[in-house]
């Protein structure tokens, strides 16, 4: 008997009947705010949330191959739409939970001016962006640079992180002086955490819509629907805004 | 339909260039290390062996992360390279060479060391009685006798550098023609859901690794035994 109890504790498989577990695949850039939202949801509902952060493309491949996720919070709006088309997500549950903002950031204070003029002056060696082919923030970065008329001139200085998280790492470690990153990475409680930054005007790139969708596996789960509802509520929205996302 | 596009070819060429450079470098660096490890009675032997073997057990994220910090502007290596006028190593081909040299070190040193240990003291004693200088004895006794070990080390070092992914991803910056090697290119294709393009490269890697290992087990009796 005792060993069964221990097994339960170790694997967490014997949850009481009234509490359910929701498995959430979440885009890496949203994993910090989602952790906070999940904590509040757990306290309010008694359900348990299991988060699996990852690159949206990788999460897509996992879902297509039967990964046990109930909910997807993607970094773009294409992947959830695609999953819906392909029958892996529940129709009409898709909605935009956050709009990502692009920021030009340096780990050092005083490097980035409040108009982004440092990009034109060009007195830096490396500008980090996320891979434009795979990451929406990378795509937005290229679009903004193109509209500023700087893309061709800066191409030799670009280094690509495979995700926006890796691009951040390049800048935070000082290997790249500048980076076009997600505002949520350098923004907490409505203020810049460190370094210097220019929030790129939203007129320079198409909105980075991050969509959520209920996956086929979570279709009949009350807890999954409850979490989706909670995400649209005031408490969750306040957290999302505090991390620098638009709504 | 073209199977491989120019970017894929550029990644393949870059990978071969990187692996060849690293293998050559490791044969030069690894041989004295292997020789020392095979013969020393120093109490530091186990420490050195452990250090050499560490890349086998460390996840590439650990290696890549620390290399990024070490070679960055505030790291000791980064300060040194800047002072020498080389600039910073991350995001350059040279940086990949340095990182891969660490990463592939045990795969070259260990086969050479094993081969040198297998020779035993006798042939060198005989060479000494025939008045061969240590240098002469090394070239005319050790190198020919340890040849299977050198061969195995070179093949494994080359193959392992070709297959490297995590470290390059961490410090490379994914720059076409400079740091975007085949493994990263495959990862890009997969992430972009371009599975057909991923398959061409990935299947090529499967074929390559099979041929390399087949070569290893055919040519090297030492590897065949172990």
Render B191-205 in DSSP notation, one character per residue. Answer: HTT-HHHHHHHHHHH
Report, as an integer, the average pLDDT of A145-155: 96
Q: What is the pLDDT of residue A3?
A: 56
Dist CA A35 CA B150 (whole Å): 52
Distance from CA of A54 to the nearest CA of B (A): 11
Provide residues of B within 8 Å CB-CB of chain A: 68-69, 71-74, 87-88, 90-91, 169-170, 173-175, 184, 187-188, 190-193
More confidently predicted of A228 and A164:
A228
Is pLDDT at A60 greater than 50 in this prediction? yes
Q: What is the pLDDT of residue B226?
A: 46
Is pLDDT at B211 greater than 70 in this prediction? yes
HSE-CB for A195 with a 13 A CA cutoff: 24
Q: Are A175 and B191 inside 8 Å of each other by CB?
A: no
Is pLDDT at B117 greater than 90 in this prediction? yes
How many Cβ contacts (< 8 angstroms) between chains A and B?
A: 61
Report, as an integer, the average pLDDT of B53-78: 92
Q: What is the pLDDT of residue B176?
A: 86
Q: What is the pLDDT of residue A2?
A: 53
What tens digit of pLDDT does each residue of B126-175 get?
A: 998 999 888 899 999 999 999 999 999 999 999 999 999 999 988 998 88
What angle is formed at CA B19 by the lines to CA A155 and CA B157, rounded to 5 degrees? 145
Q: Are A161 and B174 inside 8 Å of each other by CB?
A: yes
Q: Are B174 and A60 inside 8 Å of each other by CB?
A: no
Q: Is the dihedral of CA A170, A171, A175, A179 positive or negative?
A: positive
Q: What is the pLDDT of residue B3?
A: 76
Is pLDDT at A4 greater than 60 in this prediction? no
Whether residue B151 contacts residue B222, with contact meaning beta carbons closer than 8 Å, is answered with no
Residue A62 vs residues A30, A37, A67, A192, B65: alpha-carbon distances, Å:
18, 24, 5, 34, 26
Q: What is the pLDDT of residue B221?
A: 60
Q: What is the pLDDT of residue A16?
A: 47
Is A164 in CB contact (< 8 Å) with chain B?
no
Q: Are A128 and B88 inside 8 Å of each other by CB?
A: no
Which chain A residues are within 8 Å of B175, Cβ to Cβ? 158-160
Report, as an integer, the average pLDDT of B24-48: 95
Look at phi and psi of residue B70 and say left if phi exceeds 0, alpha if psi is from -120 to 50, else beta.
alpha
Largest CA distance in chain A: 71
What tens digit of pLDDT does each residue of A154-200 get?
A: 999 999 998 888 999 999 999 999 999 999 999 988 899 999 999 99
Q: Are B173 and A128 inside 8 Å of each other by CB?
A: yes
What angle is formed at CA A192 by the lines to CA A117 and CA A111, rounded to 5 degrees? 30
pLDDT tier at B1, thresholds 50, 70, 90:
very low
Which chain B residues are within 8 Å of A161, Cβ to Cβ? 173-174
pTM: 0.81
More confidently predicted of A134 and A202:
A202
Q: What is the pLDDT of residue A119?
A: 95
Is pLDDT at B220 greater than 70 in this prediction? no
Dist CA A142 CA A150 (whole Å): 9
Is pLDDT at A12 greater than 80 in this prediction? no
Dist CA B99 CA B11 (whole Å): 18
Q: What is the pLDDT of residue B100?
A: 96
3-state secondary structure of A232: coil
**Token duo for residue A190:** 């409505």
Which chain A residues are within 8 Å of B73, Cβ to Cβ? 174-175
Dist CA B223 CA B186 (whole Å): 30
Helical packing angle, B60-71 and B76-83, nearest 10°:
40
Q: What is the pLDDT of residue A102?
A: 96
């Amino acid at each position: 008997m005792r060993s069964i109890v221990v097994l339960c504790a170790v694997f967490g498989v014997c949850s009481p009947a009234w509490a359910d577990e929701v498995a959430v695949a979440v885009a890496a850039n949203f994993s910090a705010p989602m952790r906070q939202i999940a904590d509040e949801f757990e306290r309010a509902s008694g359900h348990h949330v299991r988060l699996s952060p990852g690159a949206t493309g990788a999460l897509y491949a996992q879902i297509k191959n039967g990964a046990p996720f109930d909910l997807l919070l993607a970094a773009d709006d294409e992947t959830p739409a695609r999953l819906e088309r392909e029958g892996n997500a529940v129709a009409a549950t898709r909605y935009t939970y956050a709009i990502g903002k692009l920021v030009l950031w340096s780990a050092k204070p005083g490097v980035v001016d409040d108009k982004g003029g440092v990009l034109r002056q060009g007195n830096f060696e490396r500008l980090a962006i996320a891979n434009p082919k795979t990451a929406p923030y990378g795509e937005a970065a290229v679009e903004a640079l193109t509209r500023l008329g700087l893309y061709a001139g800066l191409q030799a200085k670009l280094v690509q992180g495979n995700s926006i998280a890796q691009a951040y790492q390049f800048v935070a470690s000082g290997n790249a002086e500048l980076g076009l990153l997600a505002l949520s990475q350098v923004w907490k409680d409505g203020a810049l955490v460190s370094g210097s930054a220019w929030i790129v005007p939203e007129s320079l790139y198409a909105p980075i819509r991050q969509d959520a969708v209920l996956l086929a596996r979570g279709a009949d789960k009350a807890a999954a629907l409850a979490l989706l509802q909670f995400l649209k509520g005031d408490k969750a929205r306040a957290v999302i805004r505090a991390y620098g996302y638009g709504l | 339909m073209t199977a491989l596009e120019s970017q894929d070819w550029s990644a393949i060429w870059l990978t071969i260039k990187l692996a060849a450079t690293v293998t050559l470098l490791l044969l030069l660096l690894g041989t004295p290390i292997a020789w020392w490890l095979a013969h020393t009675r120093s109490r530091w032997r186990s420490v050195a062996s452990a250090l050499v073997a560490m890349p086998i057990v460390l996840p590439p994220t650990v290696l890549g992360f620390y290399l990024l910090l070490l070679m960055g502007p505030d790291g000791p290596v980064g300060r040194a390279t800047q002072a020498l006028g080389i600039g910073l190593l991350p995001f350059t081909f040279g940086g990949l060479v340095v990182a891969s040299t660490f990463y592939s070190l045990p795969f070259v040193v260990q086969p050479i060391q094993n081969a040198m240990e297998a020779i035993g003291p006798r042939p060198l004693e005989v060479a000494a009685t025939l008045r061969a200088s240590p240098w002469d004895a090394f070239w005319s006794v050790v190198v020919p006798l340890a040849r299977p070990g050198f061969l195995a080390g070179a093949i494994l070092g080359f193959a392992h550098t070709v297959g490297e992914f995590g470290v390059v991803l961490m410090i490379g910056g994914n720059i076409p023609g400079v740091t975007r090697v085949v493994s990263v290119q495959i990862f890009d294709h997969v992430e972009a859901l371009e599975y057909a393009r991923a398959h061409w490269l990935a299947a090529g890697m499967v074929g390559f690794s099979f041929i390399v290992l087949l070569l290893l087990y055919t040519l090297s009796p030492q590897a065949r035994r172990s």
